[in-house]
Structure 1
Amino acid sequence: MATNNNKGNVSLGKPKASGFIYRAPAGTEVPTDAIGALQPVWECVGYVGEDGITQSPNIDKTEVKDAGGVTVLSEITGYAETYQFVMLELNKTSATIRYGSDAVKTQGDSMTIGHKMPSGESAAFVFEMALTGSKVRRIVVPDATPNDYGDTQYHIGDAVAYDVTMAANPSDQIDGETSREYIATVGK
């Protein structure tokens, strides 16, 4: 059977102009398609660093070898995934992702952030992308918890940025999956 290359299936992970990363409290109903409007409870984190979002699988394998050292069985025995991104804006949403909702207090235009041991607070995330060929991609993570934080540097050479890695946990909202992608064609 012959296959045909199709450059229309090649795309960049470009953020949508309206926003790239959205957060909502744990338990929020997640979208079930690529194009429906997000409810007001979903808050945009603002600008994200130029490296975008990195989705990383973490796969555990069990290998069985025979007496001669030949692998006779290799199976995946564990799966997890994380999403890492760098937030360039400091606002209530980005601060909550980095420090936890109980550490962030706002009053008018003022914000106070307490630095302490992270609580492992769950939140829901939606990642919105515009693809080539009038397509959009939406990645939904109904249950994410902090997994790692990068360094924050304060100097004149770079923007102050907040590097976070969120672990995607299995969720009943998406049949026990850790995340779900929706892709659709729009505007044709």
Structure 2
Amino acid sequence: MPTNTDKVYTPAPGVKGVVFAAPYSKENAQKGIDLAKDFTKDLNGLTLAGTSVLVNLGGLSDAGIVNAEARDHQKVKDFSGSVISTPQSDFSSTFKLDFVESTNLDVLRLVYGVENVKPITKGGTGADANTVVAVQVNHTAAPLANWVFVTETIQGSKLRRQVIPKGQPITVGDVTQVSKDIIRYEVTVEAFGFTIADGSTVHVVEYLSPDV
């Protein structure tokens, strides 16, 4: 049977962005899941719970979005040595994202922590007292916070969205500063299990538009 090319999907970044994020809370996570399935809604600046909004983390490198899922199984053998069962002992889901907008403050907040990215204003009593003159970024040993992530890719009229209800940056690759390349942040996000409204536990929720 020949391949139905209408069912082939080649992802490309959307006009408004690829990866969006908001600080994690149960309310934000559930709201992100509920709203992402409505493809008429623009993810950029989308309000979740309360005053929380999805921020645009900018462009990614040509490595795209890499989602790795691993299932560990334990082989159980009977007295004769035959395998009689392979119960699953572990499951993990990670996303590797290579951010290329190294001066995007929202990317820096993800990489170093919200509290460690501090705009410095001119100060004083003049009209320009609140003018930002520098941004201080502190590198600390504190664990990074959990976030709600939503990704979006397109192909013509087809869209695909993935929601990570509860994700934590667990590694950041080496940051190289050379004149022949750009500064980038390669971030690996661990997608934790999250209990959704119907009682099931998910690590990622994916939505495909009807055209896919």
Return closer, same or farther for 1:13/1:109 CA change in 2, 3 Å cut-off.
farther
> Residue 69 of structure 1: CA displacement?
4.5
> Residue 117 of structure 1: CA displacement?
1.2
The structure 1 residue matched to 2:195, chosen from 172, 180, 184, is 172
TM-score (structure 1 length as normaliser): 0.88
- Contact 1:145–1:167 at 8 Å: present in 2 too? yes
The answer on 1:104 being equivalent to 2:117 is yes
SS in 2 for 1:54: strand
Return closer, same or farther for 1:8/1:95 CA change in 2, 3 Å cut-off.
same
The structure 1 residue matched to 2:140, chosen from 116, 125, 143, is 116
Residues 59-103 of structure 1, C-alpha deviation per residue, up to 9 Å, x if partnerless? 221111345544332232221101111111021110011111121
Q: Give the Cα separation in 1 of the matches to 2:85 and 2:93.
A: 24
Corresponding letter in the other structure for 1:65: K
The answer on 1:21 being equivalent to 2:46 is no
Return closer, same or farther for 1:33/1:73 CA change in 2, 3 Å cut-off.
same
TM-score (structure 2 length as normaliser): 0.79
Question: Which blocks of at least 5 consecutive residues in structure 2 are unaligned?
Answer: 48-52, 121-131
- Contact 2:69–2:93 at 8 Å: present in 1 too? yes
Runs of 4+ in 1 over 3 A off after TM superposition: 66-70
Q: Give the Cα separation in 2 of the matches to 1:13 and 1:69.
A: 46
Equivalences for residues 26-175 of structure 1 within 5 A: 26-27=24-25, 28=28, 29-30=31-32, 31-35=35-39, 36-38=41-43, 39-40=46-47, 41-67=53-79, 69-90=81-102, 91-107=104-120, 108=132, 110-131=134-155, 134-173=157-196, 175=200
Which of structures 1 and 2 has the bigger CA Rg?
A: 2
Residue 207 (structure 2) aligns with:
182
Q: Give the Cα separation in 2 of the matches to 1:183 and 1:151.
A: 34
Q: Which has the higher strand share?
A: 1
